[in-house]
Structure 1
Amino acid sequence: MADEQTPEGDQQAEATPETGEATATGAEQTPETPPEAAPSAEPTTESSTPPSESSPTEVTSPPEAAAPEAEKKSSKTKSKASKTGSRTRRRKGELELPTARIGFLGAGKMAECIIEGLINFAKLPANNIYVAAPTSKNTDKLKSLGVNTTKRNIDIFARFDCDIMFFCFHGSVIKYCYKLGGKIPHPITTNYIPNMKHPIYILSLVSGVSLEQLKPCLLNPEHPEKYILEMHRIMLNAACSYGLGICAVDVEPDGNKLSAPIRTMLSSIARLEYVPESQMDAACAIGGNGLAFAYYFIAALADGAFKMGLSRNMAIKFAAKTVQCASQCLLESGKHPSELLDSVSSPSGAAIYGIHVLDKADVKSGIIAAVEAAHKRAIELAESDSPSS
């Protein structure tokens, strides 16, 4: 009985490398071997062939190696399919930031600050960030950070298949789309953005343009309902590059209308505050441009201290720290600035004498006019006849 079964086993084993199926067949047949045949088969194998030259050992090993190889290929295919499937079936709010693809339309100073903040403080990989700009004027530095660049806006949506998009350009670009297309504006990209199978998040920093004006330049008017879209108008200032920015959002930051991944990402580079969309342009004038005015005032304070004999570095440090102290006291106390001003000014003291000089120079009116001028200029740029980068 044993001598008759051994050749059959050898034939099955030899067929295994060629067919790749004999291993499974042999495994199924082994338990069916009659109990009385098993003891006689072992001595036959040992007596006929030394262990090192055992043909079952040599022939059986390739199928064992082939099986894991097939399993690896199968697992890779399943893994690839699962990745694709998870991307197509993902719902809003399920985005994972470490693997998210983040796109930028525009490569100006604001885009650069946001990108630096995302890389250094949100700890997002630079190779997952994509920037579209018509020229390479501002993209060389961004390339040095490790981000990807293109000259075609459509690449952000199609080729790079981004999840989150920051719109960092002047409103004149949108106005120009309306000028070209009329009632139905020309798309901001080569064509309307593709009907992406995963949710997309658009964060617009475009001054003077509402979301309702922006949507027709992006979505195919024939089936706008097919897009899985979350759009917000926001304001970010340049301090976000140091993780210290302020961000105005058109919805309550802690509410359900702002998806958790977006909240987490923005919170890593800025403090979030709710501002209605109708007031967003005013928020840009103070939150965005106000940073420049604050630097101007700090520089003036430092120059005054330098004039009085303090070293330049020490003067700048004390000026900045003084403004920081004032800001923190104001935010912590919740008091009006005028009330705090009175609390640090003594009758006939040095501070009130200095305030009197500022009033005579009409500094307060000058600062108000500066904010107003910044707001007006942003609207002018949005209403311009030709797009500006």
Structure 2
Amino acid sequence: MLAGQKIGFLGGGAMAEALITGIVKSELVPVSKIFVSDINRNRLVYLQKKLGVNLVNDNRSLVQESDIIFLAVKPFVVEKILNDVEGIINNTKIIISIAAGITTGCIEGLLKGKQVPVVRVMPNTPALVGEGASALSLGKYSGAIEEQKAAALMSAVGKVVSLPESLLDSVTGLSGSGPAYMYIVLEALSDAGVRMGLPRNVATLLSAQTMIGAARMVLETGEHPGSLKDQVTTPGGTTIAGLYTLEEAGVRAALMRAVETATKRSRELSGS
């Protein structure tokens, strides 16, 4: 599917670096077919030394060279960059945008009605360690082929789902903001371990590994989290005592409200 494809990155920040690293490790595309442009020359030199990518000095040259173009820049510069390259983009290329809050319709509008396939992706920060959770949505001129190519590339840094664009604000509220919720939970568990006498480094390690292990159990067994919870919970035991305290404190409802609040804020920011 990606054989012979040249991948360009408009922007060489942390998420671009994570994607390039994953793509190269997964052998989806050889590094000789990956091109990067960025306003920061030092950043480009760093990426070339670390990953072996091809450096491109300007955005127009990168677009001309590439078949699939990642829009990996801050949202506030998207308009400027697309205005600069619009004249040389055509419908044989695919744009994959990871610019937060920028809709496919906005990108298509900036391309002045050209029928260019656009895919919008909402990744999250664990993509930086190959454990991302990403959702992708197709623009007006994208179809199954564009979806498959985008999904293959994003799968290099974690799990990927395809959703209607109207649900991406909910994705932002759940997996986009979700790592911060998990860090709060992890920190609280570590604090609790310290309170109960464990050394800080031990408490943090046990908390983090427990979180990883529980998540992998859900992903690899396919069982409902409630069922897995029940397997740990013996009658009159320690776990049910702890769970009762969590329910009394409203932890479940608080996490649900956090996702709801973040989703609403995402809608406000994106104007959706």
TM bracket, shorter-chain basis? 0.7 to 0.9
CA distance in 1, matches of 2:34, 2:194: 43
What does residue 47 of structure 1 align with? Answer: none
1:301 partner amino acid: L
What does residue 11 of structure 1 align with? Answer: none
* TM-score normalised by the chain length of structure 1: 0.56
Q: How does 1:325-364 map to 2 (within 5 A)?
A: 325-331=213-219, 332-335=221-224, 337-338=225-226, 340-364=228-252
2:63 partner amino acid: F
* TM-score normalised by the chain length of structure 2: 0.76
How big is the alpha-carbon RMSD for the aligned residues of Structure 1 and Structure 2?
3.5
Selected match of 1:300 from 188, 196, 203: 188
Q: 1:115 touches 1:241 (CA, 8 Å); kept in 2?
A: no
- Computing the radius of gyration over CA atoms, which structure comes out larger, 1 or 2? 1
Q: Does 1:154 align with 2:60?
A: yes
What does residue 9 of structure 1 align with? Answer: none
What is the DSSP-based 3-state SS (H/G/I as helix, E as strand, rest coil) of the residue aligned with 2:144? Answer: coil
Q: How does 1:45-84 map to 2 (within 5 A)?
A: none
What does residue 100 of structure 1 align with? Answer: 5
Q: Does 1:210 align with 2:103?
A: yes
Q: 1:168 touches 1:206 (CA, 8 Å); kept in 2?
A: yes
What is the DSSP-based 3-state SS (H/G/I as helix, E as strand, rest coil) of the residue aligned with 1:134? Answer: coil
Change (3 A) 1:109 1:321: same
Change (3 A) 1:151 1:371: farther
Selected match of 1:188 from 77, 82, 87: 82
Change (3 A) 1:123 1:138: same
Q: 2:18 touches 2:157 (CA, 8 Å); kept in 1?
A: no
What is the DSSP-based 3-state SS (H/G/I as helix, E as strand, rest coil) of the residue aligned with 2:159? Answer: strand
Q: 1:106 touches 1:168 (CA, 8 Å); kept in 2?
A: yes
* Structure 1 position 153, deviation (Å): 3.2
Query: Any idea what the Cα deviations from partners look like across 1:351-383, whole Å, max 9, x if unmatched?
Result: 233234434544344434543454455556656
Query: Any idea what the Cα deviations from partners look like across 1:26-58, whole Å, max 9, x if unmatched?
Result: xxxxxxxxxxxxxxxxxxxxxxxxxxxxxxxxx
What does residue 122 of structure 2 align with? Answer: 235
Query: Any idea what the Cα deviations from partners look like across 1:233-280, whole Å, max 9, x if unmatched?
Result: 2222333344433332336xxx93446544443333323322221112
What does residue 68 of structure 2 align with? Answer: 164
- Identity score, percent: 29
1:104 partner amino acid: F
Q: Does 1:268 align with 2:161?
A: no
CA distance in 2, matches of 1:199, 1:157: 11
Unmatched runs of 5 consecutive residues or more in structure 1? 1-92, 178-185, 384-389
* Structure 1 position 315, deviation (Å): 3.3
Count residues in correspondence. 265
